[in-house]
Amino acid sequence: MPGFEIVAASLAGGVLTGGVYALAALGLTLIYGVLHIVNFAHGALLMVAMYGAWFLATWLGVDPLVALPVVTPVMFVLGWGLYRWVIGPVSRGEDRAILLATLGVSVVLENLALVLFRGDTRSIETALSYQMLELGPLLLPLSKVISAGVAMVLAASLWAFIAMTSTGQAIRAVAREPTGARLVGIRPQRMFALAYGIGIASLGAAGCLLLPSFYVSPTVGENFVLVAFTIVVLGGMGSFPGALLGGVIVGVAESLGGLFLGESLGPISISLTFIAILLLRPQGLFGRPGEAGR
Amino acid sequence: MRALMVGLALLVPLAVPQQYLVTLAMLTVTSAALGQAWNLAGGFGGMTSFGHVAFFGLGAYVAAIGQLHFGLSPWLGLPLAALVGGAAGAAMGAAAFRARLRGSYFALVTLAVAEALRVLANSLDITGAGVGLQLRLAPGLAQFQFVDRRLSYLAALILLGLTMAAASHLGRSRFGARLAALRESEAAASALGIDVVWVKTQALALSGALTALGGVLYVQTYLYIDPSIAFSPQRSVEMLLVALIGGAGTLWGPLLGALVLHVVADGTQLLVSRPGVAPMMYGVLLLLIVALLPKGIASLRFGRRRNA
């Protein structure tokens, strides 16, 4: 049995990583909440963002935290364009077609990364890599603490944007009642592309925040896509506070899974959590019953 | 008539002496068989699975573990693998459909099951963990190991025949009609007295059993299996792609789809050997087919979509 301090440190590390996961999952839940589509390309797009941050760090020596304000808008444009020109036209609004279209996008992106970067895993070292923050009995990696803090600030601003601005209101209107929104002069397709872009922009930020403590490889998205869906399903598809809490729970489950089950068996905690939630409480912690299975 | 001609055409590779060409034909026919197995649940039943490789991997491991740890003949491994694959499909179906998982949620659950199995295979001693399992080389009919690829091709052809027979049965039988009814509308089907959970579970079990046989053929051909081969997400994508390209829920779709996929992917591989380029074509084909021919190539050839 690992000692108390190791468990506590692992718990805290899980909470911190979970905070960044939550930011990425917010993007997924926003896309679901507004467009009612399951964005299977979420993992692959996170991988793209991580390569973007890796590229800037390795070739231009830019710290991922500095790169974040660049990568995030680039990912927004990528997401916006992807919806506008690929996912929207390809799927014509049918559920199964959208699911398959986002699967197609993720297969293309993953293999494009394989073509460009080969299969090697890559990581970076930043100025903060070996710095630890002492918090009572806990030793926490400083870069993780900063990442989680930035993620929370960004999550709060995303919430404020959706809740308080008129554009945010228009997005919510389209999510609730597309026909009604059209009647008052909102163009749903425009809001859909915007919401998809914002959802992918959150991946841009999350990619920059994850890179200091994670490896990036063409298949990193494959692992992440289940993590993101577990978080969102756990919290309830479309629920904002649900994604935050789900992120922390999944971060902790992953961290404790690794500690108690070992490196190779640890990741099973994610898939098992996901399966259990869907079978036992498909609407998640915060979702309304009857929302699952679309 | 069409069946006879296609059947004769499929026998041609048996007369081809070049092992390389026969191997290509074997891979194509195996793809078609696996795509047809996916099609039984995903096409005829509308259950879009993203994790069908779970059954494939289970079948491969059952055969390999049976031979290595229990001295079980691969000939007994075949039915055992089908049994395990069928049971896995039944369990997965019973759990998922009872919880009323459909569409994207079902797709994600199948993906999670495949991923859980991959992690498990990567950690257990009996599966050889990350090192994988290597069968002892013992060519001959007794050990189901063939030096001549034409015999491997024949085995794949027999599996294709089995899956085609199952698909043809779904196209004709009352069971298939029930499955088609609930694919179109579960509410209407259940109002007609169809036990939705039971019918879907049976279809997934059938699909799982046949997919597991594909896993056995793989391990008997390559004599090696490891977690990332056995449970590779790419194979799941290939299975659904083969069915969708040709036409999901049609009898000839997967065969057509496998031909197109292999001509495109293997052709790309010949032109550009850099890793990633050929599998990227999978994604491109998937986008193109969803955008331009949502009912697959079969819908072009036969004009109207036939319910067979």
Distance of alpha carbon B36 from alpha carbon B243, whole angstroms = 6
- Residue B103: list chain A partners with CB under 8 A: 95-96, 99, 293-294
The average pLDDT across A194-219 equals 92
Q: Which two tokens stand for residue A54?
A: 């890796």
Band of pLDDT at residue A293, cut at 50, 70 and 90:
very low
Distance of alpha carbon B78 from alpha carbon B140, whole angstroms = 16
Q: Provide the percentage of residues in chain A whose pLDDT is more than 70.
A: 97
For A101, the closest chain B residue by CA position comes to: B287
Residue in A100, A264, A275 closest to B123 by CB = A264
Q: pLDDT: is B157 or A289 the higher one?
A: B157
- Residue B237: list chain A partners with CB under 8 A: 103, 107
Structural domain contains residue A265: yes
Give ipTM to 2 decimals: 0.87
The average pLDDT across A104-125 equals 89
Q: Which of residues 101-120 of B touch A (CB under 8 A)?
A: 101-109, 111-113, 115-116, 119-120
Structural domain contains residue A33: yes
Q: Which of B104, B123, B244 has the highest number of chain A CBs within 10 A, making it the mutation to test binding with A?
A: B104
Band of pLDDT at residue A28, cut at 50, 70 and 90:
very high
Question: According to the model, what pLDDT value does residue A1 have?
Answer: 63
Structural domain contains residue A211: yes
Question: According to the model, what pLDDT value does residue A292 have?
Answer: 45
Residue in A104, A119, A275 closest to B112 by CB = A275
Residue in B106, B109, B294 closest to A97 by CB = B294
Structure pTM? 0.91
- Residue B115: list chain A partners with CB under 8 A: 226, 267, 271
Whether B286 sits inside 8 A of A86 (CB atoms) is no
- Residue B280: list chain A partners with CB under 8 A: 107-108, 111-112, 114-115
Structural domain contains residue A7: no
Q: What is the pLDDT of residues B84-136, one digit of tens each?
A: 999 999 999 999 999 888 888 899 999 999 999 999 999 999 998 889 999 98
Q: Is B123's Cβ below 8 Å from some Cβ in A?
A: yes
Structural domain contains residue A31: yes
Question: According to the model, what pLDDT value does residue B301 have?
Answer: 60
User: How many Cβ atoms sit within 10 Å of the Cβ of residue B174?
Assistant: 7
Structural domain contains residue A147: yes
Looking at the complex, report in whole angstroms how far the Cα of residue B91 sits from the nearest Cα belonging to chain A.
12
Q: What is the pLDDT of residues A40-53, one digit of tens each?
A: 999 999 999 999 99
- Residue B105: list chain A partners with CB under 8 A: 233, 278, 282, 292-294
Distance of alpha carbon B81 from alpha carbon B64, whole angstroms = 10
CB burial readout A13-41, b (16+ within 10 A) else e: bbbbbbbbbbbbbbbbbbbbbbbbbbbbb
Whether B99 sits inside 8 A of A107 (CB atoms) is no
Asked if residue A103 lies in contact with residue B237, where contact means CB atoms within 8 angstroms, the answer is yes
Q: What is the pLDDT of residues A149-191, one digit of tens each?
A: 999 999 999 999 988 999 999 988 888 888 888 888 888 888 9
DSSP sequence for B184-231: H-HHHHHHTT--HHHHHHHHHHHHHHHHHHHHHHHHHHHSEE-HHHHT
Looking at the complex, report in whole angstroms how far the Cα of residue B264 sits from the nearest Cα belonging to chain A.
15
Q: Which domain holds residue A165?
A: 17-117+140-280
Structural domain contains residue A235: yes
Q: Which two tokens stand for residue B47?
A: 């259950």
Q: Which two tokens stand for residue B191?
A: 């109002």
When divided into structural domains, chain A yields a total of 1
Q: Which of B111, B290, B292 has the highest number of chain A CBs within 10 A, making it the mutation to test binding with A?
A: B290
3-state secondary structure chain A: CCCHHHHHHHHHHHHHHHHHHHHHHHHHHHHHHHHCCCCCCHHHHHHHHHHHHHHHHHHHCCCHHHHHHHHHHHHHHHHHHHHHHHHHHHHCCCHHHHHHHHHHHHHHHHHHHHHHHCCCCECCCCCCCCCEEEECCEEEEHHHHHHHHHHHHHHHHHHHHHHHCHHHHHHHHHHHCHHHHHHCCCCHHHHHHHHHHHHHHHHHHHHHHHHHHCCECCCHHHHHHHHHHHHHHHHCCCCHHHHHHHHHHHHHHHHHHHHHHCCCCCCHHHHHHHHHHHHHCCCCCCCCCCCCCC
Structural domain contains residue A290: no
Residue numbers of chain B with a pLDDT score lower than 70: 301-308
Q: What is the pLDDT of residues B21-43, one digit of tens each?
A: 899 999 999 999 999 999 999 99
Question: According to the model, what pLDDT value does residue B30 have?
Answer: 96
Question: According to the model, what pLDDT value does residue A287 have?
Answer: 67
Length of chain B: 308
For B117, the closest chain A residue by CA position comes to: A268
B215 burial level (CB within 10 Å; 0-12, 13-18, 19+)? buried
Taking one residue from A and the other from B, the number of pairs with CB-CB distance under 8 angstroms is 144
Looking at the complex, report in whole angstroms how far the Cα of residue A88 sits from the nearest Cα belonging to chain B.
10
The average pLDDT across A14-23 equals 93
